Structure 1
Amino acid sequence: MLITVSGPPGSGKSTTASKLAEALDLDHVSGGDIFRELADERGYTPLEFNKLAEENEQIDRDLDRRLRSVAVDRDDVVLESRLAGWLAGDVADFRVWLDAPLDVRAKRVADREGKPVSEAREESAARQSSEADRYEEYYGIDITDLTIYDLSINTARWNADAVLDMLVTAVDEYDAEVDEGKYPVEADYDF
């Protein structure tokens, strides 16, 4: 099974993906970890490397190729990155988008990185805008188009354990539908 977890900085991707992988006994592959490794290997901070990526599209393309390779070549993985849902494409079994308001995400990033919230807010907004522009330019992807995701969750409304419970329930339901040959489910709404 391949599950993707995507969302902007501070949305809870890493925490959720790690816990989900553990709960479902899957491997966890983090695009952020790979990006930070690439930055460190080349002597840059992640922010510096992200700015460099604005000028050198090969950085994004190399990272995205690695992530796509994981999606295609490996089984039993929770793949986490901003573009994971898009990169996994038709090989993903279940795609999740996590989000929260910018102020909530900035506070999380500030707490995690030990910086002022105002700085984290500014950096997060700039990074999100920069990445959205690059995704559109390189791949024609509108990162705000959430129609490819099976589930989208505002992580500001629930704690990490509640988000995990929702996802485990959703994935279990998906598995049951697949096992019974009912997937994709055609919803029958009566309004």
Structure 2
Amino acid sequence: MKKLLLIAFMSSCILGFAQKEKRSFKDYFNEFHISVNHGIPFGAYNRTFFGGGLGMSHVFRADRTVGARAGLDLDFFHFWNNGGFDHFLEQTIINQHLYLTSLSIPINLRINLGEKKNLHLELGGRLGFNLYSFYEADILHSDSTNQPYFVHERHPGGPVGFAFAGVNSGLGYLIQWNEKMDFLIRPTFQLNIYDLDRLHIYTQLNLGIHLK
């Protein structure tokens, strides 16, 4: 009888613990977005680019003034420029295009404002990896028997490295939908650093949902 009572007690404890520890997907990720990205050329960094992405995050302390957000972002970029003479490669390269897919982990400090905390400011950074890249361009060739001519070359990889770091800031607004979900609008400003000598500055418009 004692053994049966002990087994019953242990079973109830295990069951109660399992129920207590049971978590939903919302406990891990409670914010989801899609984005449109557009590059900002400046100075020597005259590559124009356009792209999009999607992401999911966990917002900590969404109902408090000071919170945070961390997550995963998958972004797609298409860079292009007219090119010219490349002094490093000592070649004339025109019509350059780079297609890039990256995965990054953004971590942001989040300041929630307003009585309902539906306006927020974000500032933070990100670490990322380039999952896939593809490069194509017209490259000028010359030899002793022919006039200079362009050859269109395509190959995997490109002029950026495997890993990158970035800085991001944003201003977001939550539009109340019901007691379980809000709509999200968040324009952001991003700066990614590749190989310590290449900068990509761009704006990003995020549209999504926030689960309560």
The answer, yes or no, to whether TM exceeds 0.5 is: no
TM-score (norm 2): 0.19
* Greater share of residues in helix: 1
* Greater share of residues in strand: 2
TM-score (norm 1): 0.20
Higher RCO (CA < 8 A, seq sep 6+)? 1
Q: Larger C-alpha radius of gyration, 1 or 2? A: 2
